[in-house]
Every structure is written in C-alpha cells, then in structure tokens.
Amino acid sequence: MGKPRQSENVTPGTRLAYALPAAPLAALGLPLYAVVPTYYTETLGLPLAAVGLTLLLVRIFDAVCDPVIGVIADRYRPPMGRRRFLFALALPVAAISALALYAPPAGAGVLWLGLWGCVLSLGFTLATVPYSAWGAELVSDYTGRTSLAALREGTTLVGTLIAIVVPFAIGLDPPGRLSGLAVLGIIVAIALPLTGALAVAKVSEPAEHTAAIVGLRKGLGYLAANRPFIRLLAAYFLNGFANGIPATLFLYFVSDRLGMPEARGPLLFLYFLSGIAGVPLATLTARRLGKHRAWCMAMIAACAVFAAAPLLQPGAIYAFASICVLTGLMLGFDLSLPPAMQADVIDEDTANSGEQRSGLYFAAWGLATKASLAAGVGLVFPALAGFGFDASKGMANAPDALTALAIIYAWLPIALKLAAVALMWNFPLDEAKHRELRQRIENR
C-alpha cells in the first residue's frame, strides 16, 4: 500500500508539528497521578483509601478501553486516515474532561472523581494510541525513530513542567481564586485542540504497509509469538511500576518525610527540567551503545542514586535536589528510548504477519503503562494506610509510618528496575536485525 516514508523525507517542520500536541497531552495526563490524589485528599478532604480505590477502578476501566481503541485504530480506515481521524476525534473529549476533573465544583466527591477520571482516561487513550502509532509509522529507520521519539518526549517534558509550575505557583487551595489545578485544566482545554488541529493539518497520514488482513485470533497468536515485544513489554511494565511509585508518593515524601512542603513544586520542576536535559543525552548514548543497552545503563544509574533517598534526614534539601537532578537525567532515557524500541518490535510483527498493526501494539503498550500506574496508586496507598500513614493536611505521622513511606518510595522501585534490567540487557533486536526486518517489509 505504498512505499515506506523514510525519515530523511520528513521535514523538521513536520516533525515539530507532530511533536507539539505531546505538551498538552502530558499536562493532561500527569496531574491524574501526581496532583489529583493530593488535591482530592488534602484540599477536598476525601479519604486516602477511597481515592486510591477510585483511581484503581478508573485504571481498570482504562484497561478495557486500550485494546478496543487499538483494534479500531488499525481496522477503521476513514478518508482522512486511520491515525489522524481518531486523534482528531479525541481532542474535544480530552479537553472537556480536563476542565471537569481539574476544576471540580464544591462538594465533589469520589463519584465525581471516578466519572470524570474515566472520561479523561478515555479521551487520553483515544488520543495517544493513534498518536503513538502515527509517529512509529512516520519514520521507519532505527536511529531516525530515536530522534523523533526524543523530540516528542522532550516536548512531553515541557508539558510536564507546565503541569507542575501552574498548580504550585498558584496553589491548590488559593483563597477566593481558581486553584492552580483548575487553571491547568483551562490551559489544556485550549492548547490541546489548537496543537492537535495543527498536527492534523500539517502532518500527513503515513504510508501503510499492510499486505494482508489477519484475523483477530491469528493476530493475537502473532503478537504472543513476538518475543522481542513480550520481553520489552514486561521490562517496560516493571520500570513503569518502579517510576509510578515515587511519582505517586513524591509530594507526601517531600512534605511529610523531609518536612519541606514548600519545596514540593520547585523540586518537581527541577526533576523534570533535568529530564529535558536527559533526552539528548539518551539519543547520543543510544547511538553509541544501542537503545537497549543505553536504557539499561540509565536504569542502573537511577537505582544507585535513588538508594540514598530513605537515608536522608528532614530538611536535607540540597541532597534531595541532587537526587532529583541525577534521576531526572535518567528519566530522559526512560521516556525516549522504550517508545523507539516499541516501533522496532512492531516491525517484527509486520514482517511475520503481513499486517501493520501499530494501533494494537501501542494499545498494549498503553495498557502496560496504565497497569503499572494503577499498581502504584491502588497498592501503595492502602499499604501506607496499613502502616498508619495519614495523608490529611496538617497531620503528624508516627516515625514508623514515615519510615514505611521512605522505603516504599525508594527501595521498592529499585528492586523493580533491576528486574527490568535483567530482561533487557541482552535484548535481541539491535540495529542490524532491524535493518533485515525493514528489508523484508519493503521487498514485500
């Protein structure tokens, strides 16, 4: 169905237009994990365990959406293109849900959180699955995919910084004004449709390389037999779980364990700002070592640095800021390298099955991401409650509860990351193997 579009034919302007929606998408998605639990428990006063359970149910709903949207993204072929159409359809859904969830009315409870959390998750998935597949198919070569993924994820980090700065600069409970979370919802509701419309207008639908349509049962067999994909997916889940735990507990760790609630916003900003610096470092390292080895080295480095976090004493702002900088640099590797490898393992399936099913693969990818975050929220909060930790604003927690918070925050993620390294160290799909796959696809 057409020759592949090589990365050298995709202009810098096209790449930028494609990458821009990643910023408001990040500003849409991050608060659901990093700010919403704190806002709904501290500011609105909802019980910690109830919020954790509600967000877990939202993630379960989200898990059902992923494979459905993935299949639709591959099988439905409207005139404007299967990637661009679904992405455009998602923009108003995501914009409206951002306003509702991040600017709740007075008296909003767990039902409001659950309802609009589900709608936001639907809009986010409806946007990100075709958006990710769009990028994977836009560029076909091994190193070019790393560059495009790095640009997109660097833009993602810019949106992440906005999502951090706005709530904390304005405040989560300012007297007589909109909360910072509400203002962020307004920004997303404006920026996402604008940048999304620009991408749809400026970035064409990529060439499709489907030679034959594979039935669902047979297609799932090909997916299960795709060993590089299964291996990468397992490692990505473990690493996502490892990253999701401190993302969920960061605000509590800084305010309750370190006793520096006023430093929460600046430290988060420093962490993600360092992540932006880590993206070009990841690209450079991947060119020298290969994607999988570069990612493994970054995970090992993050473990070595993060091991010191539970040993810090209250008020150790400079030591923790150093940890934020170093682990933030490694975040750039986590964000840019796995998506580039995911595009490569899809080629393994396309070469074997004859059908280009990027939507289904990125749906599975998104499902692993959300499952790891759901595990972080749904399991960590009840565990902390079991140790007597109380997240209510102004509560003084016992030393044992604060110790449990520190250990779960840092040392549990280290064990998960090291398991991911063990899976990825000898990953079989390198640049030479990928070149062979692309040759098979293009010859057919």
Q: Summarize pLDDT for 163-214 with one digit per residue, the tens.
A: 888 887 888 887 768 889 999 999 999 999 999 999 999 998 887 776 667 7
Residue 3: per-residue pLDDT: 38
Q: Name the residue with higher pLDDT: 3 or 223.
A: 223
Residue 391: per-residue pLDDT: 66
- Of 12-21, 223-232, 243-252, 277-286, the range with the lowest mean pLDDT is 243-252
The alpha-carbon radius of gyration of the chain (Å, integer) is: 21
The confidence band for 392, taking pLDDT boundaries of 50, 70 and 90, is low
User: What is the average per-residue pLDDT within 135-159?
Assistant: 87
CA dihedral 429, 426, 282, 375 (to 10 degrees): 100
The confidence band for 2, taking pLDDT boundaries of 50, 70 and 90, is very low
Q: Please tell me the total number of residues recorded for the chain in this structure.
A: 444
Q: What is the pLDDT of residues 314-323, one digit of tens each?
A: 889 999 999 9
Instruction: Please give the DSSP secondary-structure letter assigned to residue 7.
Output: G
The confidence band for 93, taking pLDDT boundaries of 50, 70 and 90, is very high
CATH class, 7-443 region: mainly alpha
Whether the pLDDT of residue 51 is over 50: the answer is yes
**CA 145 to chain CA mean position, Å:** 18
Residue 211: per-residue pLDDT: 65
* Spatial separation of the C-alpha atoms in residues 70 and 401, rounded to whole Å: 42
Reference 397, options 255, 296, 280, 195; nearest CA is 255
Q: What is the pLDDT of residues 94-133, one digit of tens each?
A: 999 999 999 998 888 999 999 999 999 999 989 999 998 8
Query: Is residue 104 left, alpha or beta, with left meaning phi > 0 and alpha meaning psi from -120 to 50?
Result: beta
Question: DSSP labels for 345-412?
Answer: HHHHHHHHHSS--HHHHHHHHHHHHHHHHHHHHHHHHHHHHHTT---STTPPPPHHHHHHHHHHHHHH
Residue 212: per-residue pLDDT: 65
Neighbours of 178 (CB within 10 A): 14
* Spatial separation of the C-alpha atoms in residues 130 and 434, rounded to whole Å: 23
Q: Which two tokens stand for residue 292?
A: 């999988």
Secondary structure class of 81 (helix, strand, coil): coil
